[in-house]
Amino acid sequence: MREFIVEADGGSRGNPGPAGYGAVVIDAATGETLAEAAEFLGVATNNVAEYRGLVAGLRAARELDPAAVVRVRMDSKLVVEQMSGRWKIKHPDMKPLAAEAARILPASQVTYEWIPRERNKHADRLANEAMDAGKRGEQWSAERSTADLAARAARTAAPEPSGPPGDAAAGAARARAALARGVGTSAPTAPAPPDEAADRRAADDARAARNVARTAHADATALPAHAEPTAPSTRAQPHEETPTPADPASSAPSTGSAPSIGSTGAAGATPPPDLGAPATFVLLRHGETPLTPQKRFSGSGGSDPSLSEVGRHQARRVAAALAARGTIEAIVSSPLARCRETAGVVAERLGLDVVVEDGLRETDFGAWEGLTFGEVRERHPEDLNAWLHSAEAEPTGGGESFEAVARRVAVTRDKLVAAYAGRTVLLVSHVTPVKTLVRLALGAPPESLFRMELSAASLSALAYYADGNASLRLLNDTSHLR
């Protein structure tokens, strides 16, 4: 019985916007490309384009051999999980496409597998060729396609670990390759990089690797040069998804060092276990309220203001930016009105529901609610001074200390990491909870809360890995507001 691999992808430049799909059928035994398909769809969403790519790929496989076993590989976790039956299909546009895909071949012949985006480049190129053709007022042409040539060239080239700046897993992969080449070892087998910048990068990558790579044995002394990064990219790609990881860690991120990678390169060393994809939290501070520009304390014990007109405009801007990225799979919000309103604007744009989580609420600032910093200093100078110097000090009138907030946020973090393992979830919260999540991920002291800037409607991002490590990927991004 023949075995085919179907790789499919779809994209939308705007979500919804000009969209296209690409699909390729590969002989599993030889790696030969057997068929390609691509089409410009006009205006559609990312998910519609992905499903259309799947349908085209399965049809092409059936035409080649209706009795073949087919392994579908896609970088859309949504499609993979829905077609595997693990996630419900709620969106009305998705249901008929999923049903159509399911009818093409018997379910017993088809399996679904998530793959990282960088391993789905052939289908991605086809989808982009189709969208480019549509922009020219044409349809995709197989005769003019260069996707297969590019895929062959990529297969014959040496693997180049890649990832977004600051991505710990991608840095670890580069470090593995560097160690295999002898960079930074006691007995190098190849010359070290000739310039200081490259040396520094190799050293940084090695440190990143130590933080995320766990060896199965303490005496493991080498890592494979071909190891690939498993963390998803956070680049602004319109149709990127994330994979499901191994069991998530239930404890707070460790601030200690992982076992040393070693420096001599022993043969037969056991590679580190695959940590899977992290739970990725995209952290959104709510939009402005009337109190925000006045810099007044506005916590969970005050008037619970709604967004101002400026804040609603900010919410619409961030919703458009997140829609263009296409990575958010769920939305969780603080129960306070300003967050629920911000989350609602984003949810409407993305077609998602909002889950309310009480642990994401802002600090209770007690008697300081509604006051400016200067007013608090004038009325409660001793309490303010204690609060600024001790994480255990409470605001006047029995508000929450930073230590109490940290305990609450840590419990909430662990619950959400377990609930959204391997997924990308938007958390809509406030200054103190967002800064606390960042502080805990970095293992930074409480006073670091006063050394972070966090603007209204800003985006930050954290990734939590199965071994308990965390990676800060983004902090206070406001580019979508400019």
Contacts of 361 (CB under 8 A, 6+ apart): 300, 334, 335, 336, 429, 430, 433
> Which residue in 242, 269, 297 sits closest to 422, CA to CA?
242
Contacts of 80 (CB under 8 A, 6+ apart): 72, 74, 112, 113, 114, 241
Query: Amino acid letter at 41?
Result: L
Catalytic residue among 50, 118, 362, 369: 362
Q: How far apart are CA 295 and CA 119, in angstroms?
A: 47
Buried b (16+ CB within 10 A) or exposed e, 449-471: beeeebebbbbbbbbbbbbbbbb
Strands 354-356 and 424-429: unpaired
Give helix 168-181 / helix 196-212 axis angle, nearest 10°: 120
Catalytic residue among 286, 380, 430, 480: 286
DSSP assignment letter at 472? E
Residue 362 known to be catalytic: yes
Number of Cα atoms under 13 Å in the Cβ half of residue 237: 23
Angle at 18 between CA 17 and CA 23, to 5 degrees: 120
Q: Which residues pair with 74 in a beta bridge?
A: 8, 114
Residue 240 known to be catalytic: no
Residue for token digits 């304390």? 297
> Which residue in 6, 4, 8, 33 sits closest to 127, CA to CA?
8
Catalytic residue numbers?
Answer: 286, 362
